[in-house]
Amino acid sequence: MNKSVFRTCLTIVCMFVPAGTAGAQSIEEVRAIYAEGRFMEAADLAQALDTSEGYALAANSLAIYGYYMAPDSEKEGLFRRATELARKAIRIDAANPEAHLQLAHALGRHAQMIGILKAFNEGYASKVRNAIQEALRLDPDRAAAHLSLAAWHTGAVSTGGFFAGLLYGANEEDALAYFKRALELAPQEKIVLLEYALGLLSLDTIGNREEARDLLERAIKLPSKDAHDRIVHRKTVEQLAALDG
């Protein structure tokens, strides 16, 4: 669906949200709104909770909306806001691994927006890596943290090659190890299967083609649990079609 059309549809849906949702009292209520795909509303309500958990959820909602749905003119502002909210989440509770993970998420999306050279000059690679590593230190079995660190290594190697290893310690072996661990921890998560496939293709399109196809096919067979999963499903279908094409 065209981004502008999707955004218009989302706006129309939000116009008919019952007034009672305007003052969500719990993180569970906000998560239900997030699961429906009302990401901007979820961000505002989660922020209003004024808790570490709420700010982390708000940051995630903004990053997802900014990456998949927002017009280009709004993306950078959304990622900046997501970064600020993730940092608030950390200030309230530095032991919240999700807060650190969402800081990495927001910073990573912002880095993609501003370009490789500017992101490099402003130290985004180290900031993202450090945030993920802290999330992993706090929760060693957090699949999303393993997946994020795998994607970090893959992205660094793909764009920086030898220099990524020299400057940041990024390498293909660690990327694959983190992908495998993420899959072990969350074998039924669409996003893990998709990102693993994309990482393999980024590292070696020809050599990893069949393994990537298998991961994509497995992801497509899984049910979508929420709105984000439905977005991931569409991307997976598109990637498999591109791979076969």
Q: Is residue 201 part of a domain?
A: no
Q: Is residue 72 part of a domain?
A: yes
Q: Is residue 23 part of a domain?
A: yes
Q: Is residue 155 part of a domain?
A: no
Q: Is residue 147 part of a domain?
A: no
Contacts of 104 (CB under 8 A, 6+ apart): 127, 128, 129, 131, 132, 135, 148, 152
Q: Could you tell me the pLDDT band of residue 164, with boundaries at 50, 70 and 90? A: low
Q: Is residue 97 part of a domain?
A: yes
User: Residue with structure tokens 């693993």?
Assistant: 196
pTM: 0.87
Average pLDDT, the chain: 88
Q: Is residue 57 part of a domain?
A: yes
3-state secondary structure at position 105: helix
| Domains held by the chain: number | 1
Q: What integer is the mean pLDDT of 56-60?
A: 98
Query: Residue 16 sits in which domain range?
Result: 3-140
How buried is 109 (Cβ within 10 angstroms: 0-12 exposed, 13-18 middle, 19+ buried)? buried
CATH of the domain at 115: 1.25.40.10
Rounded CA gap, 215 and 186, in Å? 13
Has residue 7 got a pLDDT over 60?
A: no
Has residue 168 got a pLDDT over 90?
A: no
Q: Is residue 229 part of a domain?
A: no
Q: What integer is the mean pLDDT of 177-181?
A: 98
Whole-number percent of the chain with pLDDT over 70: 87
Has residue 211 got a pLDDT over 90?
A: yes
